[in-house]
Structure 1
Amino acid sequence: MSAPPPADGTAPEDATSARGALPDDATPTDATPAGTSAAQRDAVGRHASIMAAGTAVSRVLGFVRGALLVYAIGVTGNAADAFALGNKVPNILYLLIAGGVLNAVLVPAVVRAYRRPDGHEYVNRLLTFGTALLAALAAVLTLAAPVLVELYSNFRPSVTALAVLFAYWCLPQVLFYGIYTLVGQVLNARGSFGPFMWAPVVNNVIAIAGLGAFLAVNGTYEQNGGGIDDPTAWTGAQVALLAGTATLGVVAQALVLFVPLYRMGFRYRPRWGLRGMGLRTTGRVAGWTFAGLVVGQLGVLVVTRVATAVRDAGGDAAGLAGNAVYDYAFLIFMLPHSLVTVSLLTALFTGLSARAAADDDAGVRGDLSFGLRTVGIFTVFAASVIMVLAFPLVRVLQPGASAQDVSAIVPVVVAMLVGLPAFGAWSMAQRVFYAYEDAKSMVPIQVGMALVVVAGALLSQAVLAPRYWVAGAGLSMSVSYLLGAVVALALLRRRIGGVDGARVLRLHARAVVAAGVAAAAGWAVVHAIGGLHDAGPARSLVVAAVVGVLMTGLYVGLLRLMRVSELTDLARPLLRRIRRAA
């Protein structure tokens, strides 16, 4: 949800859009696989840095939004769980029905379209058809809100009724998430990557304003003495203010993308009709992508039902990790993935699609190797540092949460972070399959991953205390990512003649050693300081900053001693910006 050629789309980039907005003027060397020359690495880094900047600002505002939400409705109570589900259902359904399909097929389709003389008309037809389909879909889903909430929850009836009210206000988001994806992917395919990552900033600003108004009218959760947790006490005005402004933010996030699209010379004209759009191949890709997403969402469904059953099973005890805790933990888990992995993969995907369309397996292999190594060097360290600093980081990000609430969130965060490096590798492998317009090969993998999540979540519910059910589900997700990455890369190895496996494994082994040493040192310092369970946000921030700098210095120093060149690829865009600022 959440980066430089010009990010504002001030001029069309037709010359670069067909080859993914990446320069192809350098000759690969033995040390640089085909498709990832030094010039290309710089271009990918520039694109990724602009997207990462937008994502970083959006994520900071997202945590401000989350902190205000905790002040308003708490984190482990009935109202928090009800709103978390009501606002999450449109995200789940959009991902299931449209989001993944659009992301999988749009960039390859638009890259190919702009090689045709009627490419502009093709995109107009695509936008017209997609928007109409999404509008109908959003209307049907909104009417079905009671059924959907029942499907995804195990709440008591009064909490279910409140969640349904939230869902009525939030489900129209499906339409605007779809428009955001349609327009954003057209921009990406034309080499304008920044707006797609910066648009969520507008969403968060509006949502923060809405929460500020909610707090001004209703006071904080603590001021209400937890009375906000009574689901029967909510008024229509309260529901409209909280959920309505959340939806208004998504509307703005979608519509703001039309500004850079217009500025880069694109003029939208409604065009109806599907004839000549080449949807047969695209439809097959979309169909298999949808099948894979259905399978994956079965796991999400089971995890959500387990999470929503925690409060009743735990007897309303304080500090239980339920549905809202799962959402906050997942937000922290996704932070490093969104900042670097998504930005890098988005920048690579257009080029991957162009190389796959040209049957350039060597180029795809080089891009895959570069992506796996660059993502790996970051995710291994990010997982280790957030695990060590989980408690102070959660305290800083959720200053309104009690010590019990923070203690409920931390185990879930750690369980999810175990799988962060594998999640990055799985995401990279997915992009390669999509670049070849081959979603079919991923479906058996996704079936296996879903079975792992379902089995892990149900096993946790059967053998663990209710407060650990969500952490157990998070750990099963980590195992599923590892399974998906290993099997997907094995399939790609046969398809494209290798994945540069030895080099990728050497990089990950060195990163794990360096991160392990840094984590041991950081853990020792944190435990020597002690007393963090009772520490306030300010002290927690100081501890996180000091230990974070220590761990980063050790990690970077050890990688340099081991001559890990990928560290330079990851840091080059940041260093360039620092030099320019100086």
Structure 2
Amino acid sequence: MTDRAADDARTEGGTSGAGRGLVTVVGGVAGLTLISRALGFLRWIAQAATVGTGAVAGAYATANQVPNVLYEVVVGGALAATIVPLLASAIMAGDRETVSRTASAMLSMVLAVLVPLGILLAVLADPVAALFPTSADADPGLQTRLVADFLRMFALQVPLYGIGVVLTGVLQAHRRFAWPAITPILSSLVVMAAYALYGAITPEGAGQWTRSADSAGLLVLGWGTTLGVAALSLPLLIPASRLDIDLRPTLRLDAATRRRAWSLATAGITALVAQQAFMLLVPVLARSGGVSGTIAVYQYTQAIWVLPYAVLVVPVATVLYPRIAGLLGEDAARPPAPAPTSAEAGAGAPGRHALSPREEALGLCGDSTALVTCVSLAGMAMLLAASTGAEAFFALLTDDVRGMSAALVSLAPGIVGFSLVHQVTRVLFAAGRARWAARATALGWAAAAVLSTAAVRLLAPSGADGPATLKALGIGTSIGMTIAGIGLLTTLARCLEASVLRPIARVVLAGAPVAAASGWAGRALSQMTGAPWSQILLSGAWALLAALATITAAHIACPQALGALRRGRR
């Protein structure tokens, strides 16, 4: 079949009611995610306004990284890599017993590993806290004590993260997407309430706090954050209990499932270890190159950076993933079909061709990745355009956020590679090429770590330079994620077919110049106004226009990319 004929056939298939249903599902998930991220953004604003950027903020931000990193390194990569692919084929086959046994074993193994790990973190909080360097303007004893106190309160988060991710994977494999999008909303509300209460009982200002975490305010801050993680995970038990599965304690998996799970898990862990090593390096570099509040400003900046990724990219990739996994699994299990005879090839109606499972899989992989690339380029344009307004906005809330605007500019190109990591690794995992995906992803994170370290040493050689450190971290992250994205696309072409890159190339060639030009234009215009609220409003309006222009240009160049949503549910 010619590329054009394949595009036409895929577009025709997109008019089904089921396809329109998937568009509705994606829209619903995107809407819930938008609410979640808006609340998450408000949560960062509340943190900036109540916790600030002082000693407590630095200790809180540092300690808050540890439970998530521990969870991700120990089981997070394995869970993200295995649950949906392992369950999707059994769900499609209606094998309730296999689904129940696999989901139960995953949840049991996670608790068996993470509960002792959480206890160990609480016991070893003091020596773990001592491993982090102290900023140039901080009291070393106070900082170490605060980090240790927060770690003891955060230790319970480790198993809670595991419960949440297992249940999310089980629900998504069953195409139940609403609750995993709702619980982050609940979590943000809980954490914002904790911030508000903390601010109310520390009227002298968070930045001036000098007492340890036996005070009421810091207890509220620490335990309130942990309660937010509980709100993220435990409510998922409600929809999980309504599925046609039986969750029970067991560590047993059949041999075939165990082998596949091990292959996927080791690849996932490889990629996640590289990512989490970088995440642990960030506070070290922020403290060595900047001041005590630099890490908090970096986290505020990163919260803005991931907004377009979370609202635009994740819903598309999440909803399409079960279908992609099913198609690629069917194609891998099916023996090659004989080539059609000339009579068979000409038997269909002119201009119509029924897609084989492999053609449908390749088309959906290519077009869905092109769609992810399109919306990530729109996100890059938005970040560039909104960079000045974002710093102006946060400057109204907290003490010193200098460097946030430049950091967003340096981070913006990396959102495309970061989005491709999310999408393409899942495609390759479903296609049985998990190790190849892990190598490309790990290379990108390793490059980000090396380049960020070098950039901090180059731009902030004497330390105590927050803006330069933020910019350096952004540069290293963007280059590393670009390397990962290019490596993954190259791997995708090698593992499937080079033709899957054609729609992606069309989107990049048409969308990237528009994204860069419109984003920079918005940044330049907002810098011409001096009043903070003028910068904020102009940046926001231009960011939307830049995103719309980018998506329009990409859609004109590759109209079938949007059709991936209409074809995803058959």
Q: Secondary structure at the match of 1:118?
A: helix
2:55 corresponds in structure 1 to: 78
Among candidates 152, 160, 179, match of residue 163 of structure 2: 179
1:47 corresponds in structure 2 to: 25
Q: Secondary structure at the match of 2:7?
A: coil
TM-fit CA distance, 1:519: 3.0
2:488 corresponds in structure 1 to: 488
Q: Distance in 2 between matches of 1:126 and 1:297?
A: 22
Which residue identity is paired with 1:336?
A: P
Q: Distance in 2 between matches of 1:136 and 1:196?
A: 26
1:439 aligns with 2:420: no
1:11 corresponds in structure 2 to: none
Which residue identity is paired with 1:297?
A: Q
Q: Distance in 2 between matches of 1:198 and 1:72?
A: 25
TM-fit CA distance, 1:32: 5.2
Gaps of 5+ in 2: 333-356
List 4+ stretches of structure 1 deviating above 6 A: 33-36, 570-573
Q: Distance in 2 between matches of 1:482 and 1:97?
A: 26
TM-fit CA distance, 1:43: 4.6
Among candidates 195, 208, 226, match of residue 179 of structure 2: 195
What does the per-residue CA deviation read over 1:352-392, in whole Å, with 9 as the maximum and x for residues that have no partner?
A: 21122112543332222122211122221221222122121
TM-fit CA distance, 1:411: 1.9
Q: Distance in 1 between matches of 2:33 and 2:276?
A: 25
1:409 corresponds in structure 2 to: 404
2:6 corresponds in structure 1 to: 30
1:310 corresponds in structure 2 to: 289
Stretch deviating more after TM superposition (446-455 or 95-104): 446-455
Q: Secondary structure at the match of 1:192?
A: coil
Which residue identity is paired with 1:102?
A: L
Indicate conservation of the 8 Å contact 2:421/2:441, yes or no: no
TM-fit CA distance, 1:568: 5.5
1:448 aligns with 2:446: no
1:88 corresponds in structure 2 to: 65
Among candidates 354, 368, 372, match of residue 375 of structure 1: 372
What does the per-residue CA deviation read over 1:74-132, in whole Å, with 9 as the maximum and x for residues that have no partner?
A: 12x22111100111211122122112210110111112343335222432333233333
Q: Secondary structure at the match of 1:390?
A: helix
Q: Distance in 2 between matches of 1:418 and 1:477?
A: 9
Q: Distance in 1 between matches of 2:243 and 2:554?
A: 41
Q: Distance in 2 between matches of 1:33 and 1:85?
A: 52
Indicate conservation of the 8 Å contact 1:45/1:572, yes or no: yes
Which residue identity is paired with 2:142?
A: S
TM-fit CA distance, 1:499: 4.5
Among candidates 360, 364, 374, match of residue 363 of structure 1: 360
What does the per-residue CA deviation read over 1:315-345, in whole Å, with 9 as the maximum and x for residues that have no partner?
A: x7xxx6x211221111111111111111111
TM-fit CA distance, 1:425: 1.9
Alignment CA distance shift 1:570-1:472 (3 Å): farther
Q: Distance in 1 between matches of 2:282 and 2:488?
A: 24
TM-fit CA distance, 1:179: 0.5
Q: Distance in 2 between matches of 1:146 and 1:374?
A: 47
Which residue identity is paired with 1:58?
A: S
1:350 aligns with 2:329: no
Measured on the aligned residues, the alpha-carbon RMSD in Å equals 2.9
What does the per-residue CA deviation read over 1:468-519, in whole Å, with 9 as the maximum and x for residues that have no partner?
A: 1232122111111111121222122121122522332122111123324433
Alignment CA distance shift 1:568-1:281 (3 Å): closer
Equivalent pairs: percent with the same residue?
Answer: 20
Gaps of 5+ in 1: 1-27, 574-582
Q: Distance in 2 between matches of 1:158 and 1:62?
A: 29
Stretch deviating more after TM superposition (247-256 or 47-56): 47-56
Q: Secondary structure at the match of 1:302?
A: helix
Q: Distance in 2 between matches of 1:145 and 1:233?
A: 14
Alignment CA distance shift 1:159-1:344 (3 Å): same
1:133 corresponds in structure 2 to: 113
2:340 corresponds in structure 1 to: none
Indicate conservation of the 8 Å contact 2:96/2:244, yes or no: no
Alignment CA distance shift 1:37-1:572 (3 Å): closer
Aligned length: 525
TM-fit CA distance, 1:294: 2.0
Which residue identity is paired with 2:316?
A: L
What does the per-residue CA deviation read over 1:523-555, in whole Å, with 9 as the maximum and x for residues that have no partner?
A: 453244x104xx24xx44432343335435544
Alignment CA distance shift 1:129-1:548 (3 Å): closer
Map 1:231-380 → 2, pairs under 5 A: 232=211, 235-271=214-250, 273-274=252-253, 278-311=257-290, 322-358=294-330, 359=332, 360-380=357-377
Indicate conservation of the 8 Å contact 2:213/2:219, yes or no: no
1:531 corresponds in structure 2 to: 530
Q: Distance in 1 between matches of 2:57 and 2:192?
A: 16
What does the per-residue CA deviation read over 1:185-225, in whole Å, with 9 as the maximum and x for residues that have no partner?
A: 1110111112111111111111111112112211263xx6x
TM-fit CA distance, 1:166: 0.7
What does the per-residue CA deviation read over 1:386-416, in whole Å, with 9 as the maximum and x for residues that have no partner?
A: 21221213444674124x41x2322222211
Alignment CA distance shift 1:112-1:566 (3 Å): closer
Indicate conservation of the 8 Å contact 1:369/1:504, yes or no: yes
Which residue identity is paired with 1:139?
A: I
Indicate conservation of the 8 Å contact 1:329/1:409, yes or no: yes
TM-score, normalization by structure 2: 0.84
Alignment CA distance shift 1:259-1:432 (3 Å): same
Q: Distance in 2 between matches of 1:144 and 1:437?
A: 39
Q: Secondary structure at the match of 1:83?
A: helix
Alignment CA distance shift 1:447-1:30 (3 Å): closer
